[in-house]
Amino acid sequence: MQNKKWTVGVTHLIRPPFDAEQQAFFNKADIIYFDTRDENQFDKSDLEKLDAFLVWTPSIGIQTIKHLKKCKILVRYGVGYDKISLNILSENNIAFSNNPEYGPEDVADTAMALLLALQRRIVEHDNRSRNYDVTWQENHLAPVKHSKNMTLGIVGLGRIGTSMSLRLKAFGYRVIGYDPYISNGMFRAIGIERAESLSELSDQIDALSMHCPLTDETRGMINNEFLAQVKPGLIFINTARGPLVSDLDVIESNLRSGQLSAVGLDVLPVEPPNNHSLIRAWREHADWLTGRLLITPHNAFYSDHSMHECRLNAAQTAKLFLENSIHRNSVG
Where are the chain's structural domains?
6-102+303-324, 104-295
Residue 298 known to be catalytic: yes
- 233 — alpha (psi -120 to 50), left (phi > 0) or beta? left
Task: Categorize the per-residue pLDDT at 3 as very low, low, confident or very high, splitting at 50, 70 and 90.
Answer: low
Give the pLDDT of residue 186. Answer: 93
Domains 6-102+303-324 and 104-295 share a fold: yes
As a residue count, the chain comes to: 332
Residue pLDDT, tens place only, 117-145 = 999 999 999 999 999 999 999 999 999 99
Mean pLDDT of 208-229: 96
CA–CA gap between residue 52 and residue 7 (Å, rounded): 7
Q: Which of 241, 252, 292, 311 is catalytic?
A: 241
Residue 241 known to be catalytic: yes
The percent of residues above 90 in pLDDT, for the chain, comes to: 94
Residue pLDDT, tens place only, 259-301 = 999 999 999 999 999 999 999 999 999 999 999 999 999 999 9
Q: Give me the helices (H) in 55-158, please.
A: 62-65, 86-91, 104-119, 122-129
Give the pLDDT of residue 1. Answer: 47
Q: Does 217 have pLDDT greater than 60?
A: yes
Mean pLDDT of 236-261: 98
Superfamily of domain 6-102+303-324: NAD(P)-binding Rossmann-like Domain (3.40.50.720)
CA atoms within a 13 Å half-sphere pointing along the CA-CB vector of 8: 28
Give the pLDDT of residue 14. Answer: 93
Give the pLDDT of residue 82. Answer: 86
Q: How far is CA 133 from CA 129, 140, 187, 221, 228, in A?
A: 9, 15, 50, 45, 41
DSSP run (H or E) holding 161: helix 159-171
CATH topology (fold) of 104-295: Rossmann fold (3.40.50)
Q: Which of 167, 174, 298, 311 is catalytic?
A: 298
Residue type, 25: F
Q: Does 102 have pLDDT greater than 90?
A: no
The percent of residues above 70 in pLDDT, for the chain, comes to: 99
Mean pLDDT of 98-126: 95
CA–CA gap between residue 126 and residue 128 (Å, rounded): 6
Q: Which DSSP symbol is given to 265? A: E
Residue 219 known to be catalytic: no
Give the pLDDT of residue 2. Answer: 57
Give the pLDDT of residue 79. Answer: 84
Task: Categorize the per-residue pLDDT at 110 as very low, low, confident or very high, splitting at 50, 70 and 90.
Answer: very high
| Neighbouring residues of 169: CB distance < 8 A, sequence distance ≥ 6 | 175, 190, 191, 192
Mean pLDDT of 54-76: 97
Q: Does 7 have pLDDT greater than 60?
A: yes
Q: Cis peptide before 272, with omega less than 30 degrees from 0? A: yes
Mean pLDDT of 148-164: 96
Q: Which of 91, 256, 271, 283 is catalytic?
A: 271
Following CA atoms 156, 162, 168, 174 in sequence, which dihedral angle do they give, to the nearest 10 degrees? 60
